[in-house]
Chain A
């Protein structure tokens, strides 16, 4: 913020509270998207383009002994074949496989690139490559090596409080169970894609990404050129869910291919190539021990999670992370361990840690509630964390109680019978379940340019990107709110690395980061406009005090005398017909170490389980969330609903199946990798409390993109238990697991 006092001044909260109230009723980019005018990375026409196809390893472990490319080179349309034996030497930026050595760490790892006139020709030539491997024994069976789990190399963010042994000794009820979640893949609609072209040592890239700045710096590092030489564009991203947050091999390989083939290259991954080479959510095995006294007070929470990690990097699915702050308990220990497997890298996937961790913890709480004979909501209220239990810091804002109440009311929780298997309608066993939702609130500095144009329109530019979440929409609103004008008058440009730098779209940090940047730039631009008017002898505002000038609907006016006013257009017209512009970078709250910020929610599920076929239908999901300011109703609620759908998916459907002998994903397509279809999704009722968190962020908003999935899978698992009396602790809950429970 350019004026940090702003958010300390309660008076100003009134002004800020208005932010987000001039809502765009539709998605800013909605029309462009539904009419096909919105261009995605692979759709930009580039002259003289060639197509690259990534060749992938077919063994999980070993080295490449040789690649005979004679036949492939002769194949029709082939321009270049790049292998570890002839690839240009690059700097390896991060954990990518860019043909700098012959090691194979997982089946599916990129090991060569064929560049040809057309994609079918590139694929056809790839089939002619004769690749010889020296195979090594592979580690593929998670359960077999679970006992060899090790500590993460750089620590696992473990927590500890109290005296676990002493607390356990006092307990009257103990839950001690293991919960597991499978490997998952993100599967955004838009496949990963990069179009790369070189002009001398300048690189132009269209990349499907959640972070143009990351792509820019990785590419610069790989090719040892200044970042300014790399121009990355990505006006639209067709979803990413974390998988486009990292700069993966294919992005650099596309640029390498363009260099070698000396022509622009387009590289689009096939759906089957998105299972492994662009990251996975690791599986988890979570051992949880909860100990409580008979009145429901938690004495000990112990959460030890183990996940797989690839041999390329230590990546932790931090399932136990949020356990340290969710509920009060006398004692607590959490830990993370890793098991090395010959699989592709783990990475962020929508609510990394919280999504998986809430499965274990929130099912365990349901088990505890049953044993204690206490209502599941009541149990959570008994252990409500009034302060962040980690350092005892106050929350910047926490309204989880209201979430429980509101969601429970909307759901009709009072109709639930605690005893299982009591509610039957025909052949359907009906069950209710609930869980707490939570996700961290983070923000980072973010820059923006705001330009007030002589034609009365406003231009906003930010070096971030919209992965489909609504970033365009909320930025148009933020500028409009700050200048008090119609958001339809604001034009937003994103997804271009020449714009003021911002950062990646991930971790639910976007809204809380980019909006303040635009707010600051807009305040600054407005001030410039005011100063111009004051200095202009022909302006009705000439000589006025800065504080007295306000703006509304494209006009400047005096607060003390609203008659004295003129439009932006007249003022700028008189002053050279040139725009007024300002660039600003938002800063983090100075007092941010004095409080803790987090988002909260309560999620309820009703399921119907068929008594004969054991098929599960999720009839209803009801969630209420405390996510600070709800900046835009349409895009915000859409994010939450999408998250809840992900929860259904996680509970019932998704699982990446990796063959235990070959290390290959066997269900690498949408017929076999199940996500919910329309018939699986019924009523979803999502509300946001919309209580601004001004301490955290001058606009009061925390992130919204990930919290929807958290808790949702556990709520469904708990509802299935309530319906059937069958406790399934291993996701996804397929009908055979219900039968066998």
Chain B
């Protein structure tokens, strides 16, 4: 790991100012950034610790809820408001990492966690467009079982590994950020990017912008939601495929739906078409299968991950079925 300076910021403005120095980065729980520093993937010259900003509250705001960027994943998952009104988010968080990691990880850091692509994480591999733009993509000819089936490009087939982000996508969250030019909000759908020809950019956040909060709209899916995570062991593994499914029911009719997939794309893959197809429908295997087909429409596998297409479909049907039944994960 390269030597670096460490600064503990006490106010958002101070943090934003400090991070404008060349090579500086924000430090949340450090569970992703510090790992990447150890393997020389990230080489910041300074870390601006943002865990001492006053961004650790979960509060009701209007009909919705605002989550401070510094709230730890464990605290968020177990928060009364989240558990009762947004159980989908709670489930997604609890399905991620391990208790120790969740105790450290922050909401802001989780939004920005980087891909787990093997070739990105080991600097000895010369080809990785995300790490070194223009160098190529070692994953396309290497191990790509964990890689994207949707929205990938010839430059990069990496996935976003987060569970939390998938739930945030299904819940239609908004990200609040502050930067040198002031504050702005970014819809979750516009926050993460597809790789295209610029896979080095994970998100549309500027390097000198600080995430201050995540805002959830009024809860719609409190009674009918399910986060299904399919993985290679029962816990402490990233998703091969995950499904965040939320339904708002009026009697036996679906009033609105939130559906997003994890482990399949460079961003949490929310399918508006699938959601739309569910509106007005009665929960049934046929309706769920139709939504599943729509959600993975256009999927393109690589050598080792073709199974994800069928797996995603089966998982969507299962998650929607359980959501409709009102079963909690």
A734 / chain B contacts, CB cutoff of 8 Å: 232
Asked if A70 is at the interface of the complex by the 8 Å CB criterion, the answer is: no
B261: min CB distance to chain A, Å: 14
- Are B119 and A613 in contact, with the CB atoms below 8 A? no
User: In B137-179, which residues have CB < 8 Å from any A CB?
Assistant: 138, 141-143, 145
User: In B283-329, which residues have CB < 8 Å from any A CB?
Assistant: 307, 310-311, 314-315, 317-318
Closest residue to B241 on the A side, CB-wise?
A: A613
Q: Assuming the A-B contacts A127-B40, A662-B124, A672-B118, are A613 and B228 also in contact, with contact meaning beta carbons closer than 8 angstroms in the complex?
A: yes
- Are A735 and B235 in contact, with the CB atoms below 8 A? no
* Bound CA span A222–B206, Å: 57
8 contacts between A and B (CB under 8 A): A613-B230, A615-B230, A657-B118, A667-B118, A677-B236, A679-B235, A679-B236, A735-B230
Asked if B116 is at the interface of the complex by the 8 Å CB criterion, the answer is: yes
B94 / chain A contacts, CB cutoff of 8 Å: none
A110: min CB distance to chain B, Å: 15
A671 / chain B contacts, CB cutoff of 8 Å: 116, 238
A662 / chain B contacts, CB cutoff of 8 Å: 124-125, 138
- Across chains A and B, which 10 residue pairs bring their CB atoms closest together, nearest first? A666-B118, A679-B234, A736-B307, A679-B235, A612-B318, A613-B230, A612-B314, A58-B124, A677-B236, A680-B234
Asked if B122 is at the interface of the complex by the 8 Å CB criterion, the answer is: yes
Asked if B233 is at the interface of the complex by the 8 Å CB criterion, the answer is: yes
B185: min CB distance to chain A, Å: 33
Select one of A660, A666, A677, A739 contacting B119, CB under 8 A: A666
- Are A677 and B118 in contact, with the CB atoms below 8 A? no
Asked if B218 is at the interface of the complex by the 8 Å CB criterion, the answer is: no
B323: min CB distance to chain A, Å: 14
Q: Assuming the A-B contacts A124-B2, A666-B118, are A427 and B318 also in contact, with contact meaning beta carbons closer than 8 angstroms in the complex?
A: yes
- Are B234 and A739 in contact, with the CB atoms below 8 A? no
B231 / chain A contacts, CB cutoff of 8 Å: 615
B3 / chain A contacts, CB cutoff of 8 Å: 124
User: In B115-140, which residues have CB < 8 Å from any A CB?
Assistant: 116, 118-119, 122, 124-125, 138
Asked if B240 is at the interface of the complex by the 8 Å CB criterion, the answer is: yes
* Bound CA span A263–B178, Å: 53
- Are A653 and B124 in contact, with the CB atoms below 8 A? no
* Bound CA span A677–B97, Å: 12
Asked if A25 is at the interface of the complex by the 8 Å CB criterion, the answer is: no
Annotate A64-88 by CB proximity to B: 1 below 8 A, 0 otherwise. Answer: 0000000000000000000000000
- Are B142 and A666 in contact, with the CB atoms below 8 A? yes
User: In A661-690, which residues have CB < 8 Å from any B CB?
Assistant: 661-662, 664, 666-667, 671-672, 674, 676-680
- Are A661 and B141 in contact, with the CB atoms below 8 A? yes
A679 / chain B contacts, CB cutoff of 8 Å: 233-236
- Are A664 and B235 in contact, with the CB atoms below 8 A? no
Question: Which of A58, A653, A659, A734 has the most C-beta atoms of chain B within 10 angstroms of its own C-beta?
Answer: A659
- Are A660 and B142 in contact, with the CB atoms below 8 A? yes
Asked if A573 is at the interface of the complex by the 8 Å CB criterion, the answer is: no
Which residues of B does A touch, CB under 8 Å? Answer: 1-3, 40, 116, 118-119, 122, 124-125, 138, 141-143, 145, 228, 230-238, 240, 307, 310-311, 314-315, 317-318
- Are B1 and A652 in contact, with the CB atoms below 8 A? no
B238 / chain A contacts, CB cutoff of 8 Å: 671
- Are B235 and A678 in contact, with the CB atoms below 8 A? yes
A127 / chain B contacts, CB cutoff of 8 Å: 40
- Are B1 and A615 in contact, with the CB atoms below 8 A? no
* Bound CA span A736–B231, Å: 10
Asked if A614 is at the interface of the complex by the 8 Å CB criterion, the answer is: yes
A200: min CB distance to chain B, Å: 37
- Are B125 and A674 in contact, with the CB atoms below 8 A? no
- Are B142 and A613 in contact, with the CB atoms below 8 A? no
* Bound CA span A62–B3, Å: 33
Closest residue to A740 on the B side, CB-wise?
A: B307
- Are B237 and A674 in contact, with the CB atoms below 8 A? yes
A177: min CB distance to chain B, Å: 22
Asked if A120 is at the interface of the complex by the 8 Å CB criterion, the answer is: yes
B164: min CB distance to chain A, Å: 17
A672 / chain B contacts, CB cutoff of 8 Å: 116, 118
* Bound CA span A550–B318, Å: 72
Annotate A670-713 by CB proximity to B: 1 below 8 A, 0 otherwise. Answer: 01101011111000000000000000000000000000000000
A586 / chain B contacts, CB cutoff of 8 Å: none
Asked if A180 is at the interface of the complex by the 8 Å CB criterion, the answer is: no
- Are B233 and A739 in contact, with the CB atoms below 8 A? no
A680 / chain B contacts, CB cutoff of 8 Å: 233-235
Beyond A662-B124, A662-B138, A671-B116, 7 additional pairs, beta carbon < 8 A: A127-B40, A612-B315, A613-B318, A662-B125, A674-B233, A679-B233, A680-B235
A136: min CB distance to chain B, Å: 18
B50: min CB distance to chain A, Å: 24
* Bound CA span A661–B141, Å: 9
A10: min CB distance to chain B, Å: 51
B92: min CB distance to chain A, Å: 16
* Bound CA span A678–B235, Å: 8
A617 / chain B contacts, CB cutoff of 8 Å: 234
Q: Assuming the A-B contacts A123-B1, A659-B142, A739-B307, are A613 and B315 also in contact, with contact meaning beta carbons closer than 8 angstroms in the complex?
A: yes
B41: min CB distance to chain A, Å: 13
- Are B311 and A677 in contact, with the CB atoms below 8 A? no
Q: Assuming the A-B contacts A657-B143, A740-B307, are A613 and B314 also in contact, with contact meaning beta carbons closer than 8 angstroms in the complex?
A: yes
B318 / chain A contacts, CB cutoff of 8 Å: 427, 612-613
- Are A666 and B143 in contact, with the CB atoms below 8 A? yes
B116 / chain A contacts, CB cutoff of 8 Å: 671-672
Closest residue to B238 on the A side, CB-wise?
A: A671
Annotate A586-618 by CB proximity to B: 1 below 8 A, 0 otherwise. Answer: 000000000000000000000000001111010
- Are B233 and A652 in contact, with the CB atoms below 8 A? yes
B143 / chain A contacts, CB cutoff of 8 Å: 657, 659, 666
* Bound CA span A617–B238, Å: 17
B277: min CB distance to chain A, Å: 20
* Bound CA span A664–B314, Å: 34
A541: min CB distance to chain B, Å: 62
A664 / chain B contacts, CB cutoff of 8 Å: 122, 124-125
- Are B141 and A735 in contact, with the CB atoms below 8 A? no
* Bound CA span A666–B125, Å: 10
* Bound CA span A678–B142, Å: 31
B145 / chain A contacts, CB cutoff of 8 Å: 736
A123 / chain B contacts, CB cutoff of 8 Å: 1
* Bound CA span A652–B318, Å: 23
A615 / chain B contacts, CB cutoff of 8 Å: 230-231, 234
A428: min CB distance to chain B, Å: 12
* Bound CA span A612–B119, Å: 30
- Are A739 and B125 in contact, with the CB atoms below 8 A? no
Closest residue to A58 on the B side, CB-wise?
A: B124
A285: min CB distance to chain B, Å: 19
A568: min CB distance to chain B, Å: 51
Q: Assuming the A-B contacts A127-B40, A666-B119, A736-B145, are A653 and B125 also in contact, with contact meaning beta carbons closer than 8 angstroms in the complex?
A: no
B118 / chain A contacts, CB cutoff of 8 Å: 657, 659, 666-667, 672
Q: Assuming the A-B contacts A674-B233, A679-B234, are A661 and B142 also in contact, with contact meaning beta carbons closer than 8 angstroms in the complex?
A: yes
B122 / chain A contacts, CB cutoff of 8 Å: 664, 666
A130: min CB distance to chain B, Å: 15
Closest residue to A657 on the B side, CB-wise?
A: B143
B315 / chain A contacts, CB cutoff of 8 Å: 612-613
- Are B314 and A677 in contact, with the CB atoms below 8 A? no
- Are B233 and A120 in contact, with the CB atoms below 8 A? no
Annotate A104-141 by CB proximity to B: 1 below 8 A, 0 otherwise. Answer: 00010000000000001001100100000000000000
